[in-house]
Structures are given as structure tokens and as C-alpha cells.
A and B are shown apart, each in its own frame.
Chain A
Amino acid sequence: MSKAKPKVAFYWCSSCGGCEESIVDLAEDILKVVAAVDIVFWPVALDFKKKDVEAMPDKSIAVSFINGGIRMSEQEEMAHLLRRKSQLVVAHGACAHLGGIPGLANFWNKDTIFRKVYQTTVSTDNPGKIVPQEKSVVDGYELTLPRFWDTVHPLNDVIDVDYFLPGCAPHRDLIINAVTAILEGKLPPKGSVLAPNKSCCEDCDRNDTKPEKLTIKEIKRPHEVLLDPEKCFLAQGVICMGPATRSGCGERCIEGNMPCRGCMGPTDQVYDQGAKFLSAFASILDTNDEKEIERIVSTIVDPAGTFYRFSLPSSILKRKRMEAVK
């Protein structure tokens, strides 16, 4: 391996592994990436340890791709370490970018999550009510575990992030474009989201079927209705996050006849994706009658979880009010 090759690291925090998969999904293009860079750290695929990273000189890694939200102390520690060792840090995927699906845990806190997971699920048999401890002594040895936080954070809550690669998981074209831009030094301004700054609807094949004046009288959930494979989901009364979501995902959900769930996050003009979608969605409800409005609203089962499916930790409110978590 030539010494001149830039060094690249991959790390995962609170995530599902899908972003790791998105690297592997580059298929033959990954060979080009591997030819162009030295991968110096990638716990999911290669046997490097934390001490190997610690031994590297500061700023010696050209770019670290970190996926996953920050929910435990260990993840924050690794994020800080990689930040110190890297020239660039890219938040890879919806969880690092926005908090992602694991960020929905922000409707609870550590105690309620532990109670559910270790005590009250039907499949749990834990008469001693044992929950993980940060420190425990076994046979005279002290064992430690990372601290589990009350709140999930996006990566840029704990470290300075240079670029955001959005999506769950990011589309291969976005990854290839990002890697190419980094290798060629053709980078946009720091803090940019590496995807088009327009809404999902603009690129959607079904956009032509959206009526001039879009209105909704009855809200339907995808499992309650036979979905037309060509018609705009909102025109079918199904909640589709497209209007409030950034494009660049390749519309894979739409192609699979499922509405947009919002994984790409908001465009640059919007801070809070959920609030913005709520605003747009409420205005297309087709009634001015107070009682009828309340009836339609009552049929939206989980507005917060639907509108903030991927972006709760990076929203204005960030989480459920702590005093109200029971």
C-alpha cells in the first residue's frame, strides 16, 4: 500500500448496522474506494482496536465516517477520539445526522426503557429485577459498562461535524459522490448536507398525479387501504413526508409503494422537519368546521412519532419533557 493514500475510518454508534451495509452495497465501486484509500479502522469488518486509533497521530485520518446516534458514554468517547484523529468527520446516515429511529427513545428516559426492556416485556423472566450497572464486582474484579443516557443525541451535539450524509441508509450515489468529492478536494462549505437541497416531491415520479389543490378528508394508514402504485400518496389520504423531506434518497420507498417516512431530514431552509410537515399537512385537511377538524385529527394515531420518525433528537424540542416521562 502506498503511503500517500488517504486514511479512512468507519465507526458505528447507536444504529442498526444498515449504514455499514450501505458501504458494502457500493458493490464493485467499493473496490475503487479501497484502491484509493487505506481503511485504518472499521470495527464491523476489520480487526482494529481502540488502542490502534489512540496510537495514531492527531489529524492523521483524512476522514471518519461515523454512523449512529449518541446514546451512551462509550459512543461519545469514541466520537471525541475520532474527531481528534481526523481531518474531516462525516455524520453517516440518518441516526448520526438527525438521531434516527433510535432517537424515538427520547419519548422515554433511561429508567422507563430499562424497566420495559429488563422487567415488563412478556418474554422477560427477571425475578431479581437485575438491570445493567455501570460498575459491578465479579470474583473480585470490577467490571464496567458504558453509561446509558436519558436522551439520544445526533452526532453534532457531541462533536464538531464537517458534513452530513443523510438517509436511512444513505443512497449509494450519495456515498460515492461524497467520497469522490473528499478525494478530489471539491468540498462544499463545512456543515453541508451532501444531498440535493430540494424536497422529495420534486424528484418523485408520482408528482404529476398530485392534484392542483391537494386536500384530505379521511386519513388512511398504509395497511388499511390498497395503495395505488402510481398515485401521489397524499392524494390517497396516506401520510407521506415527501413535502418536508430532502430528496436524494432515490425514492426507494416510493418505488416499493410505500410513502416517504422522512429519513433524509429537512432541506436547508427548514430547522424542524416534524413541525414543518405538521404545518403543511394540517393546511390540506379539507374542512373549516371545528368539530370535523378535531375528528380528523383524532384519527392520526401518533403524530409525533410519525412526523419526527427520524429527526426527534435534532428537533426543536429534542425529547419528551423529562418531568412528564412516567
Chain B
Amino acid sequence: MSNGTFEPRLVGFLCNWCSYTGADLAGTARMVYAPNIRIIRVMCSGRVDPQFVLKAFREGADGVLISGCHPGDCHYQEGNYKALRRHRLLSKMLEQFGIEKERFRLEWVSASEGTKFQLVCNEFTEQIRKLGPLNLHQNGGRHEQGQA
């Protein structure tokens, strides 16, 4: 796939209480934003197991977004802080795997911030478009060994 026709595939894990509602607001308000993100609703950004993020990358995502309530606003008190700590540590580890930290984003989007969600999706899509495809789905597969 040449970069000219590359459409980034993004996966977004959105918390039920703030960010998913924010995304819903962007939709009901008919805000136009890049259609590249596939949204998965989770109860809390703290529910996002790092295995989910790795699996998304492994299965073809070029970028992964985790979005939750602003600090201090978590429905479960501190799930978003856990997400923040995991994001910083996982970002560092992903770089060791050759996955640029720009491909893994954490954003706070409240239920009333439809415009912020619109902005994040547009920005993230353009950022990944510049970085190009990740092509991880066959990485480390048996095809690399030159075997039949």
C-alpha cells in the first residue's frame, strides 16, 4: 500500500461515563470528523488491559487511543490514574518493540467535550497518516523464515 492511499486504522477504547458519551455528543451534534477510528466502549479507562492494546496493534491497528474522564472525575475514583500510569509505562515499552509512542495516545474527554473528541480523532488520524502503516499483523510470523 503506498502512503498516498494509506488510510490509518485506529482503535479507540472509550470509557462509558465520559469519553464514550463525549463521542456520542460529537455524533448527535453532527460534528464531522475522520472516520478512521473504531470505538470500543469499556466501563473505565482503567479497565483497559495492556493486552488489549497489544492485541489491537498485532491485529492491524496503526494507532490506539485510550480515552477517559479528566483527572479527578473518574466514576470509579481513580481508574483514569491507573490508565495514566499504564500508558506511560506501556509507551516506553512499545518503543522498545519499534512501535513509536505517537501511535499510542491517552486523552481526557468529558461527556460535554464533543468538540475535543472531534479534534483528537482528526489530529490522531493525520499523525498516523504521516507515520505510515504499522504492518504488524504478520510480524514474527512463520513467513519470515523463508520456509514453505
Contact = CB atoms under 8 A, between A and B. Distances in A.
A298 B95 CA distance: 13
Given A316-B51, A319-B139, A321-B136, A288 B78 contact: yes
B42 to A, nearest CB: 14
A311 to B, nearest CB: 12
Contacts of B134: 321
B98 A323 contact: yes
A182 B96 CA distance: 41
Contacts, number: 117
A293 B51 contact: no
Contact of A149 (B82, B88, B97, B145): B145
Given A149-B144, A271-B51, A297 B92 contact: yes
Interface in B43-58: 49-51, 53-55, 57-58
A321 B82 contact: no
A288 B90 contact: no
Nearest to A274: B93
A300 B135 contact: no
A133 B53 CA distance: 39
A288 B86 CA distance: 12
A279 B96 contact: no
Interface size class of A (residues with CB under 8 A): 35 or more
Contact of B96 (A107, A281, A318, A323): A107
Given A107-B96, A276-B49, A294 B86 contact: no
B93 A303 contact: yes
A272 B92 contact: no
Given A275-B51, A283-B85, A316-B55, A321 B92 contact: no
B144 to A, nearest CB: 5
Interface size class of B (residues with CB under 8 A): 20 to 34
A203 interface: no
B145 A317 contact: no
A38 interface: no
Interface string A67-108: 000000100100000000000000000000000000000110
Contacts of B90: 275, 278, 282
Contact of A157 (B51, B82, B135, B142): B142
A131 interface: no
Chain B CB count within 10 A is highest, among A147, A272, A283, for A283
A281 B50 CA distance: 12
A35 interface: no
Interface string A277-304: 0110111010010100110011010111
Contact of B50 (A150, A278, A288): A278
A320 B54 CA distance: 12
A324 B98 CA distance: 5
Chain B CB count within 10 A is highest, among A76, A297, A305, for A297
Contact of A316 (B58, B82, B145): B58
Interface string B50-80: 1101110110000000000001000000100
Nearest to B79: A283
Nearest to A270: B51
A283 B144 CA distance: 36
Interface in B81-140: 81-82, 84-86, 88-90, 92-93, 96-99, 134-136, 139-140
Contacts of A245: none
Q: What are the 4 tightest A-B residue pairs by CB atom distance, in nearest-first order?
A: A324-B98, A321-B98, A318-B140, A304-B96
29 contacts: A106-B140, A149-B145, A151-B144, A153-B142, A158-B142, A271-B51, A275-B51, A278-B90, A279-B50, A282-B82, A283-B82, A283-B85, A290-B84, A293-B84, A294-B88, A297-B89, A298-B92, A303-B89, A315-B54, A316-B58, A317-B57, A317-B140, A320-B97, A321-B98, A321-B99, A321-B139, A322-B98, A323-B135, A324-B97
Interface of B: 49-51, 53-55, 57-58, 71, 78, 81-82, 84-86, 88-90, 92-93, 96-99, 134-136, 139-140, 142, 144-147
